[in-house]
């Protein structure tokens, strides 16, 4: 059965792999599954056909036969359950890997999205600059805790897992920032993820969408 995911026709990040289809592409490359991509415009994302697949009008989505899913982390978990390579076999270790997926989305990404909301929707406000350190402080607190837990380990819990994939996808949103660089072990952790062949292939595939857009 063909796997089809959706991605931005015109990604706001200009092909730097920050759109959340990147996490699916990466997961599918890790487990060696080919996939097709349907590009959707911002207008199409708000139309009934797309809302039937993704009620919040976002990308990505995932379709394979009678399976239709949304939310990048949920799809990553589905991919990790369907094909080997992204979850340990030991039940306790598997549950911990899934825990890291939820921690990435619910605990670490929460203040990072808050900072993005401020940048995109509040940067014209007089108080934007005064408020920024408050948001940065929330991100910094989570990074300190994550850095302390990771320590000198290569990945969060044993072998590379879907938990690392989602966490690195989240941390890449602040890649290169002083907040992340303050923790060399976290910066190195992100770099280790980005160095994986599956990541490179996924990154190239989404970058190609942007290059094609520029050519047209």
> Under the rule (CB under 8 A), what is the footprint of a copy of itself?
51, 55-58, 66-71, 73-75, 77-78, 91-92, 95-96, 98-99, 101-103, 105-107, 109-111, 113-114, 117, 121-122, 125-127, 130-131, 134, 138, 142, 145-146, 148-149
| Residue number, 148 or 188, with CB nearest to a copy of itself | 148
CB of 209 to a copy of itself, least distance (A): 23
CB of 58 to a copy of itself, least distance (A): 8
Answer whether 18's CB lies under 8 Å from 190's CB.
no
CB of 107 to a copy of itself, least distance (A): 5
| Residue number, 78 or 172, with CB nearest to a copy of itself | 78
| Residue number, 71 or 194, with CB nearest to a copy of itself | 71
| Residue number, 122 or 181, with CB nearest to a copy of itself | 122
| Residue number, 148 or 182, with CB nearest to a copy of itself | 148
CB of 215 to a copy of itself, least distance (A): 33
Q: Please, what is the Cα angle at 5 between 171 and 86, to 5 degrees?
A: 50
CB of 214 to a copy of itself, least distance (A): 30
CB of 22 to a copy of itself, least distance (A): 15
| Residue number, 42 or 102, with CB nearest to a copy of itself | 102
DSSP the chain: --EEEEEESS-TTSSSS-STHHHHHHHHHHTT---EEEEE-HHHHTSHHHHHH-TTS-S-EEEETTEEEESHHHHHHHHHHHSTTSS-SSHHHHHHHHHHHHIIIIIIHHHHHHHHHHHHHSTTSTTHHHHHHHHHHHHHHHHHHHHHHHTT-SSSSSS--HHHHHHHHHHGGGTTSHHHHT-HHHHHHHHHHHTSHHHHHHHHHHHHHHHHHHH-
């Amino acid at each position: 059965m063909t796997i089809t995911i959706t991605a931005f026709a015109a990604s706001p990040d200009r092909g730097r792999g920050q759109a959340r289809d990147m996490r699916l592409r990466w997961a599918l490359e890790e487990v060696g599954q080919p996939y097709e991509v349907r590009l959707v415009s911002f207008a199409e994302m708000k139309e009934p056909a797309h809302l039937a697949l993704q009620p919040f009008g976002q990308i990505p989505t995932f379709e394979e036969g009678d399976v239709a899913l949304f939310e990048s982390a949920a799809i990553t978990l589905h991919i990790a359950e369907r094909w080997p390579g992204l979850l340990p076999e030991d039940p306790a270790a598997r549950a911990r890997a899934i825990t890291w997926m939820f921690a990435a989305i619910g605990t670490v990404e929460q203040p990072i999205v808050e900072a993005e909301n401020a940048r995109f929707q509040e940067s014209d406000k007089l108080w934007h600059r005064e408020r920024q350190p408050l948001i940065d402080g929330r991100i910094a607190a989570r990074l300190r805790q994550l850095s302390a837990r990771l320590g000198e380990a290569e990945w969060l819990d044993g072998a590379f897992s879907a938990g690392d994939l989602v966490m690195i996808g989240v941390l890449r949103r602040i890649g290169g920032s002083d907040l992340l660089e303050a923790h060399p072990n976290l910066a190195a952790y992100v770099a280790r993820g980005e160095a994986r062949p599956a990541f490179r292939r996924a990154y190239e595939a989404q970058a190609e969408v942007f290059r094609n857009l520029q050519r047209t």
